[in-house]
Structure 1
């Protein structure tokens, strides 16, 4: 009895595996082939020009606009004073509660 059960499980597994292999052969998306109209040298030249103009970022840099302020940076004392004002006005929440800061 155990041999028959083991044999039937083996045959069933083989049948399911072959069905999976046959289905994996089918592509979900059609392969799109676009022939290149440029040579490798032209592509490299365009890349170098784009790099020299600052149009290419490397790594995980974000392309967010950098805002530069003309005003001088705040001192530590000024930041601490603003923090205390925000705490006293109830604009600051600490922790992971669902209360969001009040916007005036």
Structure 2
């Protein structure tokens, strides 16, 4: 299972906005039980979607600027970025099969090769 990259307010632009491939950003917090439930699912998806989608985590409590900039109001919030812009958001934990289907749909909509 992939180890998810941790980004911060300081590294967000370099790691996410400047990425050559789409990036799913998991906004989470230590106190959030659903955030902990979705972490292993995201690690599995990072392996399965490697090369098509990068998955990173940002602790919203420790990095409030990025969450504020993207109007993150609930945790977990998952934002998909492509070419430096948010293109899709998901709020709340969901089963792996559902999230995989949603992410595959996003990647297909972006017309990215498999």
Instruction: Mark yes or no: TM-score above 0.5.
Output: no
Indicate the structure with greater strand content. 2
- Normalised to the residue count of structure 2, the TM-score between the two structures is 0.16
More helix by share: 1
Query: Which of these two proteins has the greater Rg computed from alpha carbons?
Result: 1
